[in-house]
Structure 1
């Protein structure tokens, strides 16, 4: 299987309910995060190029990225891959899909 596969909201829910901590990156804006979040690390998409050093310890680990609907997280995934991160996964449908579960 490809290392950079996307996952569904249901798959993310399984991971979050598991016993293992995961690297969850939220690329929404602070107001969106404040209103509703899944406990991930908040780095808004526009800030991501300047905050990559915060994620250096995540290199080589599975990173799950989410936003509101999946569009910003897809862009963030491409950005991280271009910066040498591996095993980067976009959560399809974002938090909107997650909250419908």
Structure 2
């Protein structure tokens, strides 16, 4: 069972200062169009070899364009013992529909 979070809840938690790691699993060309503030970029294709870079003890939200790829990434991470990975329901499209901020990504 993959746990999901919606854009409104994520925005609220980030605004309250919750320490949530944001992981963008989109392609580099998608990320170039903007990302969630302070997100790191680990494309879905390389997640299996870079998963060790992620902190197991920290809550993280995985996102893509629509929420489908990130859902699969959350499934993979759960199989690897990451129990604090949340999928952003609706992806960055849902985030954008609410008018929330985008910015260039630092970890690309």
Q: TM-score, normalised by structure 1?
A: 0.88
Gaps of 5+ in 2: 99-108
Query: Within the alignment, does 1:62 sit opposite 2:64 as a pair?
Result: no
Consecutive aligned runs of 4 or more in structure 1 exceeding 3 Å deviation: none
Q: In the alignment, what sits opposite 1:41? A: 40
Picking from 74, 83, 87, the partner of 1:86 is: 83
**RMSD of aligned alpha carbons:** 1.4
Q: Is the CA contact (8 Å cut-off) linking 1:24 and 1:65 kept in structure 2?
A: yes
Greater helix share, structure number: 1
Gaps of 5+ in 1: none
**How many residue pairs get matched?**
97
Distance 1:67 1:75 in 2: 10
Q: TM-score, normalised by structure 2?
A: 0.83
Q: In the alignment, what sits opposite 1:27? A: 25
